[in-house]
Homo-oligomer: A and B are copies of this chain.
Amino acid sequence: MYISKLFFPILRENPTEAKIKSHQLMLRVGMVKQSSAGIYSWLPLGLKIMKKIENIVREEQNKIGAQELLMPTIQSAEIWKESGRYNDYGEEMLRITDRQKREMLYGPTNEELITEIFRSSIKSYKSLPQSLYHIQWKFRDELRPRFGVMRGREFLMKDAYTFDLTDKDAVNSYNKMYLAYLKTFKRMELAAIPMAADTGPIGGNLSHEFVILAETGESKIFADKRIFEIKTEDFNLDVDSLIKMRNDFDKYYAVTDDKYNKKDFEKKVLSSNQLVTKGIEVGHIFYFGDKYSKPLKANVDLQGGKKVSVKMGSYGIGISRLVGALIEAKFNNNIMKWPIEVSPYDIAILPMINKNDFTNLEKTEKIYKELTKNNIDVLVDDTEENLSAKIKKFNLIGIPNQIIIGQRKETDLLEYKEIDKKSQNLSIDKIIQKIKKEKNSI
């Protein structure tokens, strides 16, 4: 794609209203535009990145046998009254009255609605387990929306729900999601640590937050460094492997503020292993047994005809938030570098363009075609800006690979640059090989 043909409004300066680097960068390079407090439009560049994140999340959910459906954004208040959360939820719930004076709301989460779908469809224990998810916009009417998409009001979330017959089966479903989350974040080149967490308004007694390290994070983190050495690829979906995974992680101390206890931390973690830093929550999983199935009467028949409430868990990933979180994690020293699976394009071509001299543009066109033929997604900066302005701009856009076409040289080799490294001279074939390898290695 040629940048001159894109809707790609770039600002010259950092916007003063933005306080953290992800918010600044997203406004600066035209990824989003605020439409009202805590509500954003996603411009083409930002949307492309968010869709790639969404797709990774989808693929990893499908891999563990979760099935995608889609619940609406607007829900009736009735089922929230059945579960008892309608009054509990407080002012963060956006309450709406329709023209028939019915009480409605914009879903902040979907435990009630999915339970209602389940109970009207599944009647027998034979149809268990079930694992359902959707990727849909949610609304939470934050009192002080801030930090751009990191704490917006309208946000995109993947939320999954599992239904099992016994506690033991349900914990196995929980463990599957736990593994799927580790793999999901790994594909985004994020080290997300699962931390035992409070359950808050969702309820239940088992819960983990997945937290990535970032100095600008909102939560303070206390962990044993060795937790980072656990290799996700050592685990698979077998029951025993999942139990081992849980044990391996549980061995190491890793908590947020809420759960921090100084004495415990110092007793359990050698001082050389102590890590105290900040983090961003990107996922949160819960097991809450029959908290919703009981009041909402989501039962299945056992063989003898006895009815039991199903055991449920819920599992969220903040997809729009992840766009910001990735920037917080990967934008350093004024250089952004998107992980290849999430990057809006695989490679950028930055030609120096002199007036009335089309040599470099023609060369660019040739390289563009060659790359595209190999299924490599290319962004060309065909504007008339000078080369150093282009390089600065692309340090912000964050495409991890670049080909720079400067002064004419008597060689077939191209100036290739990984965005935060030194240039090297490579043939087009070598560059293609390198990118293909990167894309497949994940």
Q: A35-B71, A69-B41, A117-B33 are in contact. Are A141 and B91 (CB under 8 A)?
A: no
Say yes or no for A334: interface residue by CB 8 A criterion.
Answer: no
Say yes or no for A44: interface residue by CB 8 A criterion.
Answer: yes
From A3-11, A400-408, A411-419, the one touching the partner chain is A3-11
From A96-104, A198-206, A248-256, A351-359, the one touching the partner chain is A96-104
Say yes or no for A387: interface residue by CB 8 A criterion.
Answer: no
**A121 and B9 within 8 A (CB):** yes
Q: How many copies does the complex hold?
A: 2
From A73-81, A218-226, A371-379, the one touching the partner chain is A73-81
Q: A33-B120, A98-B141 are in contact. Are A40 and B72 (CB under 8 A)?
A: yes
In the complex, which residues of chain B have a beta carbon less than 8 angstroms from the beta carbon of A42? Answer: 69-71
**A35 and B96 within 8 A (CB):** no
Q: Which of A35, A76, A141 has the most CB of B within 10 A?
A: A35
Say yes or no for A154: interface residue by CB 8 A criterion.
Answer: yes
Name the contact of A154 in the complex, choosing from B47, B73, B143 (C-beta under 8 A): B73
**A69 and B7 within 8 A (CB):** yes
Contact with B along A1-45 (1 / 0, CB 8 A): 000011101000000000000000000001001011101111110
Name the contact of A35 in the complex, choosing from B6, B72, B137 (C-beta under 8 A): B72
**A67 and B35 within 8 A (CB):** no
Chain A 63-97 residues near chain B, CB threshold 8 A: 65, 67-76, 78, 91-92, 94, 96
In the complex, which residues of chain B have a beta carbon less than 8 angstroms from the beta carbon of A72? Answer: 35, 39-41, 137, 154
Say yes or no for A210: interface residue by CB 8 A criterion.
Answer: no
Nearest 9 CB-CB pairs, A to B?
A: A9-B121, A36-B76, A42-B70, A41-B71, A91-B99, A39-B72, A72-B154, A44-B67, A99-B141
Say yes or no for A132: interface residue by CB 8 A criterion.
Answer: yes
How far, in angstroms, from A117 to B40 measured CA to CA in the complex? Answer: 11
Say yes or no for A178: interface residue by CB 8 A criterion.
Answer: no
Say yes or no for A106: interface residue by CB 8 A criterion.
Answer: yes
Chain B residue with Cβ nearest A75: B35
In the complex, which residues of chain B have a beta carbon less than 8 angstroms from the beta carbon of A117? Answer: 33, 41, 43
How far, in angstroms, from A429 to B75 measured CA to CA in the complex? Answer: 49
Chain B residue with Cβ nearest A121: B9
In the complex, which residues of chain B have a beta carbon less than 8 angstroms from the beta carbon of A137? Answer: 72-73, 137
Chain B residue with Cβ nearest A96: B96
Q: A47-B68, A67-B6, A69-B41 are in contact. Are A74 and B120 (CB under 8 A)?
A: no
In the complex, which residues of chain B have a beta carbon less than 8 angstroms from the beta carbon of A37? Answer: 100, 102
In the complex, which residues of chain B have a beta carbon less than 8 angstroms from the beta carbon of A39? Answer: 72, 74-76
Contact with B along A49-71 (1 / 0, CB 8 A): 01000000000000001011111
In the complex, which residues of chain B have a beta carbon less than 8 angstroms from the beta carbon of A74? Answer: 36, 39, 94, 106, 139, 153-154
- Knowing that A5-B65, A40-B72, A47-B70 are A-B contacts, what are 11 other residue pairs whose CB atoms are under 8 Å apart, sorted by A's residue number? A33-B117, A35-B76, A36-B104, A37-B100, A39-B76, A41-B69, A44-B67, A72-B154, A73-B137, A98-B141, A99-B143
Contact with B along A115-149 (1 / 0, CB 8 A): 01100111000000010100001010101000000
Say yes or no for A191: interface residue by CB 8 A criterion.
Answer: no
Question: What's the minimum C-beta distance from A442 to chain B, rounded to whole angstroms?
Answer: 22
How far, in angstroms, from A237 to B67 measured CA to CA in the complex? Answer: 40
How far, in angstroms, from A6 to B35 measured CA to CA in the complex? Answer: 39
**B98 and A96 within 8 A (CB):** no
Say yes or no for A361: interface residue by CB 8 A criterion.
Answer: no
In the complex, which residues of chain B have a beta carbon less than 8 angstroms from the beta carbon of A426? Answer: none
**B67 and A30 within 8 A (CB):** no
Question: What's the minimum C-beta distance from A310 to chain B, rounded to whole angstroms?
Answer: 14
Say yes or no for A113: interface residue by CB 8 A criterion.
Answer: yes
**B99 and A96 within 8 A (CB):** no
Question: What's the minimum C-beta distance from A216 to chain B, rounded to whole angstroms?
Answer: 24
How far, in angstroms, from A96 to B100 measured CA to CA in the complex? Answer: 14
In the complex, which residues of chain B have a beta carbon less than 8 angstroms from the beta carbon of A33? Answer: 117, 120-121
How far, in angstroms, from A178 to B187 measured CA to CA in the complex? Answer: 41
A sample of 20 inter-chain contacts (CB < 8 A) reads A7-B130, A30-B121, A33-B120, A35-B116, A36-B78, A37-B100, A39-B75, A42-B69, A43-B117, A44-B67, A44-B68, A47-B68, A47-B69, A50-B70, A72-B154, A73-B154, A74-B139, A96-B96, A98-B141, A137-B137
